[in-house]
Amino acid sequence: MRVFNLHAADFEYPADNPEGYRRGQARVGEAIGSNRIGGTVYELPPGESAWPYHYELGDEEWMIVLDGRVEVRTPEGEQELGPGDVLCFLEGPEGAHKMVNRADETAHVLMLSTRRWPAVAVYPDSQKIGVFGDDPGARIMARRESDVDYWDGET
């Protein structure tokens, strides 16, 4: 039996995350051997966010605040959430979201999601689209304006 304790997570801080997005992560889904549901605990120091404002195509996500306080932006506006609060981000534009820790203490948030590959995310603020494969090397980020015709390059 593979067990992960949410209160004893070891957080990895990606070295390439810029200021404002410096957060720790502990991959729950991988640790317990999940194939269809992804889970990650994020550790958010004050002033940091886990990711830019975005929405998923093909995946649904849940956010569960474990401790601390986070401000969540959705298409409906911004709202502060605290321990025990749960949100669902549906796939598509209505599920767009971003969380920021504007409090003075570190916050911990569990994100759960369906897990489909490839994963596709749209970033409305920066007009980017990301396609992510199960292999970390299978990643494409492009600006929406770089759109080409379906038949471009075909003979």
Domains, the chain, ranges and CATH? 6-116 (2.60.120.10)
Confidence class of residue 133 from pLDDT cuts 50, 70 and 90?
confident
Between CA 110 and CA 103 the distance in angstroms is 18
**Rounded mean pLDDT, 92-103:** 98
Q: What is the 3-state secondary structure (H, E, C) of the chain?
A: CCCCCHHHCCCECCCCCCCCCCCEEEEHHHHHCCCCEEEEEEEECCCCECCCCEEEECCCEEEEEEECCEEEEECCEEEEECCCCEEEECCCHHHCEEEECCCCCCEEEEEEEECCCCEEEEECCCCEEEEECCCCCCEEEEEHHHCCCCCCCCC
In angstroms, the CA 39 to CA 114 distance is: 9
Closest CA to 68 of 15, 109, 119, 23: 109
Residue with tokens 């849940």: 62
pLDDT at 135 over 80: no
Whole-model pTM: value is 0.91
Give pLDDT tens digits for 102-126.
999 999 999 999 988 888 999 999 9
Q: Nearest-CA neighbor of 104 among 69, 133, 73?
A: 69
pLDDT, position 88: 98
